[in-house]
Amino acid sequence: MDTNPSDTPSDLEHAPYTPLPDNPSQARIRRPFKVFAAIFASVIFLLSLVTLIINQSQEPLPVQNQNRSPSTSRPTKSFSKPEPRGVAQGVSPKSNPSFFGDKVSYNWTNAMFSWQRTGYHFQPEKNWMNDPDGPLFYKGWYHLFYQYNPDSATWGNITWGHAVSTDLIHWLYLPLAMVPDHWYDINGVWTGSATLLPDGRIVMLYTGSTNESVQVQNLAYPANLSDPLLIDWIKYPNNPVIKPPKGIEADEFRDPTTAWMEPNGTWRITIGSRHKKTIGISLVYQTSDFTTFKLMNGVLHAVPGTGMWECVDFYPVSVNGSTGLDTSANGPGTKHVLKASLDDTKRDHYALGVYDPVADKWTPDNPKEDVGIGLQVDYGRYYASKTFYDQNKRRRILWGWINETDTETDDLAKGWASVQTIPRNVIFDNKTGTNILQWPVEEIESLRLRSTEFREIVVGPGSVVPLDIGQATQLDIFAEFELEITSETKPENYGCRGGAVDRSALGPFGLLVIADKTLSELTPIFFRPVKTIEDTVKTYFCADETRSTKAPDVFKQVYGTTVPVLADEKFQMRVLVDHSIVESFGQGGRRVITSRIYPTEAIFGNAKLFLFNNATGVNVKATLKIWELNSAFIHPFPFDQIRME
């Protein structure tokens, strides 16, 4: 279907954004405590008043409150805000304690909470979930294990949840795979990885937190290899198989990787840690039987200033091919991806490089974009990612954890917390040669229902165009943009930070997803090309959550980065919308941004989709194809039905 801006309602045809203040973040001035206490009392009163007004109003939040920097977007820590869960136990923060104590931060309704649950992303029926663990394909089934608290929607009592699928989309919950029931994992069965051995056996290495909160590595294996569901698991009687070595902090030593085989037939794994508090490192261990391990000299890699590395991932990619590689592959035409989840920043970083199996060393292609200081796997709300080689379809599949940005109290009220991303296929980008490409697995297309097409819609500067597609909460969107420059452009200094309200000559332009018809709540996904002083164009790909909800105690941020746009390419994005989750893929997956949002107005039938162009000097011509997506079937495994057959 073709749509022309002239056919849109006049009140939306040229609805401009409000420019941000020039200096949205101001330095705080030190004040005497008595004065500060008085100010604090006043702030509490004003917060209550503002909350009452917000709950009774349909108007957008004031601009100055919409684009707060991370340091000011949540209440200050001056008055003993509780420490997040997990920190005292030696892992990254696993909660957002509320400024409002044990009360919910907003007048949430059951309808709002119900709408937040996704339609086709994996999440448990209830309670807390975090890192993906030990994914693998076995006897016709994809297996996903995950960090899970069976008792609460908060982090703690970490066990391994377990689900299976035949297509990575529709999932069946199975009984818990492993629970904390031995001294070596009594404080948590933490993150681990699976390795499929050539003889068909499966070994699972995982981190356990001991009765003394020491992080050790343990071995488990299936009780019955003839069971394709791998329901029962046995823990090795002589666990732990690896203890923290000398010089490594006992609570900073975790998350063993999938093993890879060396030419001599022995196996290697790597484990994340840190040295002298600030140097992120990955240690290498050798084994021939997975019960005894030898620490190799040196480290696989280390990067100063990056802090603790957790959830390390290490895998090969083919330079010239479009298929994935087994984790043990190496040699000509192969590069290795080294990825680490940085405990200090809560970001997943990766780099491409070359692995030397003789020296057990990995060297980055570009030291200026080393692990932790260069590329990120995902520039949004995303952490603790893990890949596995799918031998069934010869591809490398990536999982990632989408954690919450509301408060722990809110999570308890809604009864669940966290979602996994849609599984992504990972390949090397042989056009740029500098990054990987991530793309939703092809099986997502099985959920497509009706589609709508819009061709060459011209969107003028400062315009918003509604797209009449019906249901707008579960979508697969392909969008392509071309620019027509209408005025002379000069070098500018813009990026993602100012969000979609920050106007420049060539951008921003893109989509407004999960937006209500009055645009009081919206989440822009956009490009911002910028002319540089070198007379080139640098393009940013961004997601702006600052007006995604009227709820005040939700972390709302502008995410994004630069993205390569080659000379023969148009601006292209693919956006998966699933209620409160938005996964955005720029330029074929060169950059990815995941958003977790909490709208209060733009829900159910009030959620709409718009095109927008907030540039000052270009017309934007947009072509889109949009599918409505069905919900996935995610339910408990029907054991009773199978027994009846």
Catalytic residues: 131
Contact 273, 340 (CB under 8 A): no
Beta strands in 251-382 (DSSP E): 253-254, 260-261, 267-275, 279-287, 294-295, 301-303, 309-318, 334-342, 347-356, 361-364
Distance, CA of 612 to CA of 593 (rounded, Å): 19
- Give DSSP secondary structure letters for 125-176: SSEEEEEEEEEEEETTEEEEEEEEETT-SSS-S-EEEEEEESSSSSEEEEEE
CB proximity list for 578: less than 8 A, separation 6 or greater:
118, 119, 120, 121, 473, 474, 629
CB atoms within 10 A of CB 37: 12
CB proximity list for 327: less than 8 A, separation 6 or greater:
195, 258, 259, 260, 314, 315, 316, 389
What's the token pair of residue 446? 């099985």
* SS3 category, 50: helix
Contact 65, 18 (CB under 8 A): no
Contact 79, 99 (CB under 8 A): no
Distance, CA of 164 to CA of 229 (rounded, Å): 7
The residue written with tokens 């005894």 in the block is: 292
Written as one letter, the residue type at 102 is D
- Give DSSP secondary structure letters for 569-587: --EEEEEEEETTEEEEEEG
CB atoms within 10 A of CB 364: 20
CB atoms within 10 A of CB 288: 12
Distance, CA of 559 to CA of 548 (rounded, Å): 13
The residue written with tokens 């990120």 in the block is: 376
Contact 397, 135 (CB under 8 A): yes
Taking CA atoms, 462 is separated from 63, 370, 478, 617, 620, in Å, by 17, 39, 22, 10, 11
Residue 93, judged by CB atoms within 10 A of its CB (0-12, 13-18, 19+), counts as middle
Backbone angles phi, psi at 340, to 5 degrees: -140, 140
Q: What share of the chain is helix, strand, coil (3-state, %, to 5)?
A: 10, 40, 50
Nearest CA to 492 out of 590, 587, 616 is that of 616
Distance, CA of 587 to CA of 597 (rounded, Å): 23
CB atoms within 10 A of CB 237: 8
